[in-house]
Amino acid sequence: MELAYKVTSLGGRSSQVQIGAHTLQFNIPDGTGHSGPGALAVFVAAAGACAFYFASGVLQAQDVPSENLSIDVRAVTDPEPRRHLKSIVVTARLAPPAAHLAEEVRAAIEGCPVHGTFCLPPEASVEIDVGTPAAT
């Protein structure tokens, strides 16, 4: 399966990307109160959303409401040698009605593709296409 998206300008350093019927808007936080989330914050939040999706499937299979689950995500960035994530911790919080599912929830979260990407990072490259006009 390939995932491919086009990121377009909203002016200045702001951008947007269309993912199906959803439009996400990004902006490097500038302290004005008018900026959207930064891409790294959304990347970290996606780890929590993915963990919740997979963990809630465990609860749902046992007829335990997903309100008994929350996910905390904590990441530390390291500015050197390049700005990147130094560490990320995903914590599943289970209310007592779901406590007996802790190990199944852990296994489900470890099966989340975002978690897998952190554990087995993909090859990454940057390509530049000069001469092709930007399309919005």
* CATH at 49: 3.30.300.20
Asked if residue 50 is part of any domain, the answer here is yes
Residues 50 and 105 reside in one and the same domain: yes
* Average pLDDT score over residue span 43-51: 96
30 and 1 assigned to the same domain: yes
Residue 130 inside a domain? The answer is no
Number of domains in the chain: 2
Query: What count of residues does the chain have?
Result: 136
Where does the pLDDT of residue 38 fall: very low under 50, low under 70, confident under 90, or very high at 90 and above? Answer: confident
Whether 22 is in a domain gets the answer yes
* DSSP per-residue string spanning 111-135: T-HHHHHHHSPPP------TTPPP-
- 20-31 pLDDT tens trace: 999 998 886 566
Residue 132 lies in a domain: no
Which structural domain, as residue segments, surrounds residue 25?
A: 1-37
Per residue, the 3-state secondary structure of 41-109, as one string, reads HHHHHHHHHHHHHHHHHHHHHCCCCHHHEEEEEEEEEECCCCCEEEEEEEEEEECHHHHHHHHHHHHHH
- Interatomic CA distance for residues 26 and 7, integer angstroms: 10
**Would residue 64 count as lying in a domain?**
yes
Query: What would the mean pLDDT of 59-82 be, rounded to a whole number?
Result: 93
What pLDDT is stored for residue 91 in this prediction?
Answer: 98
- Give the mean model confidence (pLDDT) for residues 39-56: 95
Classify residue 36 by burial, with Cβ atoms within 10 Å: 0-12, 13-18, 19+: middle
Are 4 and 63 contained in the same domain?
no
Exposed / middle / buried, residue 121 (Cβ in 10 Å: 0-12, 13-18, 19+): exposed
Tens of pLDDT, residue by residue over 99-108, are 999 999 999 9
Asked if residue 131 belongs to a domain, the reply is: no
76-96 pLDDT, tens digit each: 998 887 778 999 999 999 999
Question: Does residue 31 lie within any of the structural domains?
Answer: yes
Name the β-bridge partners of 128: none
Residues 51 and 101 in one domain: yes
Provide the pLDDT for residue 99.
96
Measure the CA–CA gap between 7 and 41, rounded to whole angstroms: 17
Judge contact between 104 and 60, C-beta under 8 A: no
Supply the pLDDT for residue 30: 62
Q: Are residues 52 and 111 in the same domain?
A: yes
What pLDDT is recorded for position 32? Answer: 66
Examine residue 70 and state whether it is found in any structural domain, yes or no.
yes
